[in-house]
Structure 1
Amino acid sequence: MLILAALAGLLSVPVAVLLVEVIAALKAPKLEPFEVKELNIEKRVAVIVPAHNESVGLVPTLQDIKPQLGAGDRLIVVADNCTDDTAEVAAASGAEVIIRNDPGRIGKGFAMGWGITHLSQDPPDFVLFVDADCRLQADLVEGLKRVCHQVQRPVQALFVMRSAENSPVNHSFAEFAWVLRNWVRPLGLRNLRGPVQLMGTGMMFPWNAISSVPLASGHLVEDLKLGLDLAETGKAPYFFPFVTVTSTFPTSFKGTENQRQRWVQGHLATIGRFVPRLLTAGLMRGDVNILVLALDLLVPPLSLLALLMVVTMVMTSSVTVLGGPWLPTLIAGGNLLGFIFCVVLTWFKFGRQVFPAQELLSFGSFALKKIGFYGRMLIGGTASQWIRTDRSTPT
């Protein structure tokens, strides 16, 4: 019985964190004075685009970046372990191309580190990382540069994922979960004057920050790891939601499942590896930023959190019906109600466009698919380190 109560109690932590973040996000974001101040000092930016077999979708990304660069800025594509013509396409589009071939060390982190090593010969003032399949808002580089100069910390733009037109995969639930994860929760933390997690693209760093941390790794969610590493050095990421970088979900079932598996497994691995260390460091130093990121990291992916709470509720209520104590059931029920409140509040304020009410009719099939997904993930083992997301339409 104590085990069930402890399990329900542990789930109360991420639910409470989620509730605080969602409520804090209800306040509309306001520009800070330094976020609108012009940057009168010439500062050089290097944009690094890590690319692994991305020749098909790379050109639009580069076309979005190039008009935003000044005379001393650089656009660098890291063609990492490519077997297609990514390097040639990037060079033809006017990018500076560096090629990395090291099949024994595959991972986006390795590509990012390769780019930083290349830049160390002539360091810029700021480095911006952009994924090879993203589209950029027209003033993104200038906005991030202005804010990064003022805060002297990593700055994260708003990263939005949308469904591709005529996609055979229904991404309504995924889009809603993404809104909660990458828009609502970071906005709540911003409104509370807290730091946020890095999101993998649309991330700008002062050179002295990005050159001081190890990047070369095959970690599945290198963005989370990088943000946490920097937070431990006193450079916790800052959220600037007024500029946007956009990408699309995969248009094939295989690509969708592979992408989600990498995200989930990487997130869970990061929780196990970083949370104890961050909590210890935050408490010993009295560093609120580190503690905030540790608590935020404890919130697992939305569908997994929902599944854990439902399973806990079924287990605790079954024991109660058989004559066991009420406390575990009350805790589990409170968690479930708090979670539902967060989801409903998010939907009313932020999610009605991406997740229409009629989509609720398909919730049963979605839940079954998720149960199957987590089952296959447990049986199938660990996801690959860095595989280009399959965006082809199944025939």
Structure 2
Amino acid sequence: MTLILNMLISLPALLLTLLALWFGMQVVAACLPGRTPTRDNATACGRLAVLIPAHNESTNMIPTLRAVHSQGLAGLRVLVVADNCSDDTAQVAKNEGAEVIERSDPTRRGKGYALDFGIQHLKAAPPDTVIVMDADCLPAPGAMARMVELATQTQRPVQALYLMNNPNQPTVKSRIAEFAWLVKNHVRARGLHWFGLPCQLTGSGMAFPWHVLQGVPLATGEIVEDMKLGITLAARGYAPVFCEQAMVSSTFPANDEGVRSQRKRWEHGHLAIIWNEGLPNLGRALLNRDQNLLFMALDLCIPPLALLVMMNMVWLIVASIYWAWLGSAWALTISLIGMLITAASVTLAWYKFGRSVVTGTDMLRVPIYMLSKLSVYAGFLFRRQTTWVRSKRDNEPK
């Protein structure tokens, strides 16, 4: 009986420690000198289509369209999918020189359906490369040329460095959230790239050779369609490549409603996809001896940063109680190692990459931030979000 209890307590501790170890290895690798940047080659872009799904974006998308056109790429085609819009998104996009198609299907809502609608439209005159850009994102100068060049060289999907920033005078919680985003999209992706491994797709700033998208099921209601698409492509032999030298950026909502909606969608979707895609693809990768799929699925299984820290803390407490009860220190030792690795990794990521985002005092308030996320994780168990909901923008009426 004691042996069984030891296994029941020690196995979750071991799994959490392995996830913490892989997370820590990514952070350490990210701190090492990076690989040689790709060179600019704007003349090699060929036929390029920038696909922008937009639901009631209206004036929000004007800076995006102007930034895309300012990249100065030959053969550029900008296609906006005005998806289930009730505002003037379509007319605004036309006024900014974009090609516009409108989709109306209130029963099938979500970015995946809009992307599929756009791809079907492009089939009449296929481009060489498709870049997917969210309607509120800004590509940095030269970013699109770098993405297209790397996609052409590798014949694989390319993910740009996609960062989100806070508006003026952010709260402590919003600064910590920005740091968590930085760790996920920059630090971990950079670490994976240092190992020569693929990264996750993060939703915007994604470049695809046209043939890679053929036959891929995009028309789904998946609320984290980017993660789903990335692991699907990896399973087909097209694991995404990270391009740190190409950056796109956006801004977190400042209003509480938009923040709650956005984070709930991201975190519920991430947790669901760990079960639906991460774990099954781990087994598939082992059977097929597919290294790219294996490490991508393993990376997908790392929960959101706040939850990873929280799970390690909780299991450390459970293991401590078990040790005090039966005197078995195995689970406690493993949990303590996992907690130390997690804490050291987060501290290193902050010291190397995050000090401009959060202060040391902010980091001491992380436990309060984690407590604020309890309702999100409880909601996953009891009131899980399974359908796409657009986050409220700051310039929209209440």
Q: TM-score, normalised by structure 2?
A: 0.94
Correspondences of 1:226-265 after superposition (within 5 Å): 226-265=229-268
Give unmatched runs, 5+ long, in structure 2: none
Write the letter of the residue equivalent to 1:18: F
Structure 1 residues 347 and 158: alpha-carbon distance in aligned structure 2, compared to 1, 3 A threshold: same
Q: What is the DSSP-based 3-state SS (H/G/I as helix, E as strand, rest coil) of the residue aligned with 2:249?
A: strand
Q: Does residue 143 of structure 1 match 2:146? A: yes
Aligned partner of 1:380 in structure 2 is: 383
Say which of 23, 30, 40 aligns to 1:18.
23
Aligned partner of 1:312 in structure 2 is: 315
Aligned partner of 2:215 in structure 1 is: 212
Once residues 367 and 157 of structure 2 are traced to their aligned partners in structure 1, the CA distance between those partners, rounded to angstroms, is 41
Give unmatched runs, 5+ long, in structure 1: none
Structure 1 residues 166 and 213: alpha-carbon distance in aligned structure 2, compared to 1, 3 A threshold: same
Aligned partner of 2:136 in structure 1 is: 133
Say which of 168, 171, 176 aligns to 2:179.
176
Cα deviation 1:157-196 (Å, max 9, x = unaligned): 0000110124467411111111110001110111101111
Query: Does the 8 Å contact 1:254/1:390 carry over to 2?
Result: no
Correspondences of 1:78-227 after superposition (within 5 Å): 78-167=81-170, 170-227=173-230
Q: What is the DSSP-based 3-state SS (H/G/I as helix, E as strand, rest coil) of the residue aligned with 1:56?
A: helix
Correspondences of 1:220-369 after superposition (within 5 Å): 220-369=223-372
Query: Does the 8 Å contact 1:144/1:155 carry over to 2?
Result: yes
Write the letter of the residue equivalent to 1:369: S
Cα deviation 1:309-352 (Å, max 9, x = unaligned): 11111111112122341111111111100100101111111111
Structure 1 residues 193 and 63: alpha-carbon distance in aligned structure 2, compared to 1, 3 A threshold: same
Query: Does the 8 Å contact 1:168/1:251 carry over to 2?
Result: no
Aligned partner of 2:11 in structure 1 is: 6
Cα deviation 1:30-78 (Å, max 9, x = unaligned): 325xx21636546110000001111131100101001225443210110
Write the letter of the residue equivalent to 2:190: L
Write the letter of the residue equivalent to 1:213: V
Once residues 314 and 272 of structure 1 are traced to their aligned partners in structure 2, the CA distance between those partners, rounded to angstroms, is 25
**Deviation, structure 1 residue 394:** 9.4
Once residues 261 and 114 of structure 2 are traced to their aligned partners in structure 1, the CA distance between those partners, rounded to angstroms, is 20
Query: Does the 8 Å contact 2:262/2:391 carry over to 1?
Result: no
Structure 1 residues 128 and 180: alpha-carbon distance in aligned structure 2, compared to 1, 3 A threshold: same
Structure 1 residues 203 and 369: alpha-carbon distance in aligned structure 2, compared to 1, 3 A threshold: same
Cα deviation 1:349-379 (Å, max 9, x = unaligned): 1111101112135334323212233234434
Q: What is the DSSP-based 3-state SS (H/G/I as helix, E as strand, rest coil) of the residue aligned with 2:242?
A: strand
Query: Does the 8 Å contact 1:47/1:128 carry over to 2?
Result: yes
Query: Does the 8 Å contact 1:52/1:388 carry over to 2?
Result: no
- Identity between Structure 1 and Structure 2 (%): 39
Structure 1 residues 46 and 286: alpha-carbon distance in aligned structure 2, compared to 1, 3 A threshold: same
Once residues 356 and 383 of structure 1 are traced to their aligned partners in structure 2, the CA distance between those partners, rounded to angstroms, is 35
- Aligned length in residues: 393
Q: What is the DSSP-based 3-state SS (H/G/I as helix, E as strand, rest coil) of the residue aligned with 1:204?
A: strand
Deviates more, 1:9-18 or 1:200-209: 9-18
Q: What is the DSSP-based 3-state SS (H/G/I as helix, E as strand, rest coil) of the residue aligned with 2:32?
A: coil
Q: What is the DSSP-based 3-state SS (H/G/I as helix, E as strand, rest coil) of the residue aligned with 1:150?
A: helix
Once residues 232 and 210 of structure 1 are traced to their aligned partners in structure 2, the CA distance between those partners, rounded to angstroms, is 13
Query: Does the 8 Å contact 1:113/1:215 carry over to 2?
Result: yes
Structure 1 residues 374 and 278: alpha-carbon distance in aligned structure 2, compared to 1, 3 A threshold: closer
Once residues 280 and 194 of structure 1 are traced to their aligned partners in structure 2, the CA distance between those partners, rounded to angstroms, is 18
Say which of 46, 64, 69 aligns to 1:66.
69
Q: What's the Cα RMSD here?
A: 1.9
Once residues 281 and 248 of structure 2 are traced to their aligned partners in structure 1, the CA distance between those partners, rounded to angstroms, is 29
Structure 1 residues 305 and 168: alpha-carbon distance in aligned structure 2, compared to 1, 3 A threshold: closer
Once residues 145 and 42 of structure 1 are traced to their aligned partners in structure 2, the CA distance between those partners, rounded to angstroms, is 6
Once residues 44 and 68 of structure 2 are traced to their aligned partners in structure 1, the CA distance between those partners, rounded to angstroms, is 21
Once residues 355 and 49 of structure 2 are traced to their aligned partners in structure 1, the CA distance between those partners, rounded to angstroms, is 37
Write the letter of the residue equivalent to 1:140: A
Query: Does the 8 Å contact 1:116/1:211 carry over to 2?
Result: no
Write the letter of the residue equivalent to 2:174: H
Once residues 73 and 364 of structure 2 are traced to their aligned partners in structure 1, the CA distance between those partners, rounded to angstroms, is 50
Q: Does residue 75 of structure 1 match 2:72? A: no
Query: Does the 8 Å contact 2:61/2:135 carry over to 1?
Result: yes
Cα deviation 1:125-169 (Å, max 9, x = unaligned): 000000011111011111111111111110110000110124467
Structure 1 residues 230 and 376: alpha-carbon distance in aligned structure 2, compared to 1, 3 A threshold: closer
Q: TM-score, normalised by structure 1?
A: 0.95
Query: Does the 8 Å contact 1:251/1:392 carry over to 2?
Result: no
